[in-house]
Amino acid sequence: MKETIFNYLLSVKEEKGAGYIVLIDPDKNSEKKLEEKISKINQSGVDAIFVGGSLILDNNCEKRVAMIKSLSELPVIFFPGGISQLNKHYDAMLFISILSGRNPHYLIGEQVVAAPIVKDLGIEVIPTGYLIVDGGSNSSVQFMSGSNPIPIEKPDILIAHALAAQYLGKKLVYLESGSGAKNPIPNQLVEAVNNYIDIPIIVGGGVRTPESAYEKVQSGASFIVTGTVIEDDNTNIIKEFADAIHRS
Ligand code: 1GP
């Protein structure tokens, strides 16, 4: 099998039961903090790094991504907040379509603009169906993408979207409650989706404790993403997350 980042992720799932991915927002991290954070990530059993944010407030995104790449001992995967964050330093990217929304720009518009640049840069793409689920607070991604989240009391709607993502040929489904969400996606919803689809599920948004991450894995998540909880100086918790996610 060709050695790709996607195959690496599949092998993590195969060997460890599930993977732990840390999200770094290239907007919020000073260069000094980045160094400390990535050194901690390298030593804590994390499987990959996602880089991206809904909005970048300066012109230093590429510089920070280059820095993350040079410091990281793990694959650095672009988790796109928009084409302005695209550059040559990523090992792969989630080629995301926000299937839960009905905004054509994030269903296909942004992807068309990005595709030729991605080809030119030679970045591996991982087709990903992105489903925004209500996390109990207004999320940046919801606002920036102009899309309504799927209500958590409507599991059938979520299941149908996840199945559609699979039938559209996506390799991953991302169940996103929004960065800093009040509530992470309920375990029963992860389980319900997992009972319907065969492709791996990524869960992110509002996961704040290793125990909660463990429960999502037990419910069928293949990858857990945390961002907010490891921002600031809370880096000691990274290893606890990795251990809990790999415990299953
Ligand atoms: C957001 O899923 C990620 O896109 C992570 O969310 O920042 O809440 O961990 P948190």
Successive 10-residue mean pLDDT values, the chain, 248 residues:
91 98 87 90 98 91 96 98 95 98 97 98 98 96 95 98 98 98 98 98 98 98 96 85 94
pLDDT at residue number 1: 65
User: In angstroms, rounded to a whole number, what is the distance separating the alpha carbons of residues 83 and 74?
Assistant: 23
pLDDT at residue number 126: 98
User: In angstroms, rounded to a whole number, what is the distance separating the alpha carbons of residues 73 and 79?
Assistant: 18
Atom of ligand 1 nearest to the CA of 79: 4
pLDDT at residue number 233: 66
Q: Which amino acid is at 204?
A: G
Residue range of the domain that includes 134: 5-246
Residue ID of nearest Cα to ligand 1 atom 2: 204
Report which of 101, 181, 204 is spatially closest to residue 135, judged by C-alpha positions: 181
Domain count, the chain: 1
For residue 26, the CA-to-ligand 1 centroid distance in Å is 13
Atom of ligand 1 nearest to the CA of 141: 4
Per the CB < 8 A criterion, the answer to whether 32 and 42 are in contact is: no
Atom of ligand 1 nearest to the CA of 208: 9
- Ligand 1 binding residues, C-beta < 6 A: 23, 176, 179-181, 204-207, 225-229
Q: What is the CATH number of the domain that holds 180?
A: 3.20.20.390
Q: How far is CA 145 from the centre of its chain?
A: 16
Q: The tokens 């793409």 sit on which residue?
A: 125
Residue 55 CB contacts under 8 Å (≥ 6 apart), including other chains? 27, 81, 140, 144
Atom of ligand 1 nearest to the CA of 204: 2
Report which of 155, 168, 127 is spatially closest to residue 6, judged by C-alpha positions: 127
Please give the span between the terminal C-alpha atoms of the chain, in angstroms, as a whole number: 26
Residue ID of nearest Cα to ligand 1 atom 4: 179
For residue 2, the CA-to-ligand 1 centroid distance in Å is 30
